[in-house]
Chains A and B, each alone.
Chain A
Amino acid sequence: MSFELKSGELLQIDGANGSGKTTLLRTVCGLVPADEGNVYWCNRPIQQNRQGYFSQLAFVGHKHGIKDELTAAENLEIDQILAANPSSVSVREALGRLGIGECRHQLCRELSAGQRQRVALARLLVSIAHFWVLDEPLTALDQEAQRTVCDLVGQHIAAGGMVLLTSHQKLDWSGQAHRIIKLGNA
């Protein structure tokens, strides 16, 4: 397969379980090497342009990257430190925008699956990354949170960002430039 993503575009990957959506996303993030072919960022293979690529990449995967023994706020502070360009959005504000502001001093172990997902998604707000890669960002979220996430994605696209996401759901990207690629069975 081959695809290209430009600024202000959204690409949704759809496909049955086991069709390789997650593997594709992890390959795009440079976490697993591609069996064949390459991933390019600004016309250069990402292996040769790691610094430039990773400084523009934000990834929320199946594994959330959240420590159970840290509070929501402490987890986001680490994300802020790891980010190449921390945004002006504070940890408190980011968690607030995802509707879990009041849980920020709670250990993530005590949070529900949906709340943990929101903590992971709040990562997108504390850094300025051009390219968002989201693996099933809406699972475990209630309808209101799903709306919030879709809005965030929409705003990011409108501001010239790029989003690659997997989802089984039919999403309403009202007016945003978006494409859907359906993966066949492996």
Chain B
Amino acid sequence: MRKQQTFSIFTGILRRDLKLAVRAPSQWINPLLFFLIAVSLFPLGVGPEQNMLREIAPGVIWVAALLAAMLAQDSLFRADFEDGSLEQMLISSRPMSMIIMAKVLAHWLVTGLPLIVLSPVLSILMGLSLVGWWALLLTLLLGTPILSLLGAVGAALVVSVKRGGVLLSLLVLPLCIPVLIFATAVVQTAGVGLAIEGQVSLLGALLALSVTLSPIAIAGALRVTGGAA
């Protein structure tokens, strides 16, 4: 019974957030467009030299993904904070970590997943090889959930700060450096035909770590900041 209730809160909040995303699409479409435009500026700025583009592609795509994730992250708890829904979640006796995981998953589905779907287009734009694209896909699949979870910790901390977007980036971007390093290394290593299992495993470990630990941090942060009037 208890398990069933926990599951129902997870699916209930997930459905609610997805419904809200569908009805107010600007919050996730804008960061996505930013991602597309930011990456497509590089061939224009750097020049169409394929070798050069291929070399910088992993870094460019990943940095753009990181910035797009930061843009989207600010909205994760803010709307709920402003209309009082967050209060209702905080005073619910249901497990806060389940509510948070559902919210972060919904957020990743509308902001992280589209980045992955767009990655083939960007790979062509940046002249990545097929192997490079596969590696990119893999890193995005493992890396963007980490960005969502780390970003959620920051979003929870600054939820009561008006215009906290920049502060959020300052807090969270340094934490994302390991993800950026390993993810770009995977794509570069794959590009020269070497084994990538090691770095991919490290990304997987980072994901496991953030999935297990960040809900605790997010819940703690929300209990401190989310109740502020």
A-side interface residues toward B, CB under 8 Å? Answer: 22-23, 26, 29-32, 50-55, 57, 59, 61-70, 74, 77-79, 81-84, 123
Q: Are B87 and A61 in contact (CB under 8 A)?
A: yes
Residues of B within 8 A of A50 (CB): 93
A30 to chain B, nearest CB (A): 7
Using a Cβ–Cβ cut-off of 8 Å, how many residues does chain B contribute to the interface with A?
26
Most buried by A among B9, B13, B89, B229: B229
Q: Select A31's contact among B8, B90, B92, beta carbons within 8 Å.
A: B90
Q: Are A51 and B229 in contact (CB under 8 A)?
A: no
Sample 6 A-B pairs with CB under 8 A, ordered by A number.
A26-B227, A31-B227, A52-B93, A57-B91, A67-B16, A78-B16
Q: Are A62 and B92 in contact (CB under 8 A)?
A: no
Q: Are A82 and B88 in contact (CB under 8 A)?
A: yes
Residues of A within 8 A of B12 (CB): 77-78, 81
Residues of A within 8 A of B84 (CB): 61-66
Given known A-B contacts A26-B227, A64-B84, A65-B85, A70 and B9 have beta carbons under 8 A apart: no
Q: Select B87's contact among A51, A59, A77, beta carbons within 8 Å.
A: A59
Distance of A32 Cα from B19 Cα, bound (Å)? 30
Distance of A59 Cα from B92 Cα, bound (Å)? 10
B162 adjacent to chain A (CB < 8 Å): no
Residue of A nearest to B9 (CB): A81
By Cβ-Cβ distance, the 7 closest A-B pairs, closest first, are A63-B84, A31-B227, A55-B93, A81-B12, A65-B84, A54-B93, A82-B92
Given known A-B contacts A69-B20, A82-B9, A32 and B87 have beta carbons under 8 A apart: no
B88 to chain A, nearest CB (A): 4
Complex interface bits, B74-93 against A, C-beta within 8 A gives 1, otherwise 0: 00000100111101111111
Given known A-B contacts A23-B229, A70-B20, A74-B16, A84 and B83 have beta carbons under 8 A apart: no
Distance of A31 Cα from B84 Cα, bound (Å)? 11
Residue of A nearest to B11 (CB): A81
Given known A-B contacts A22-B229, A32-B229, A64 and B83 have beta carbons under 8 A apart: yes
B3 adjacent to chain A (CB < 8 Å): no
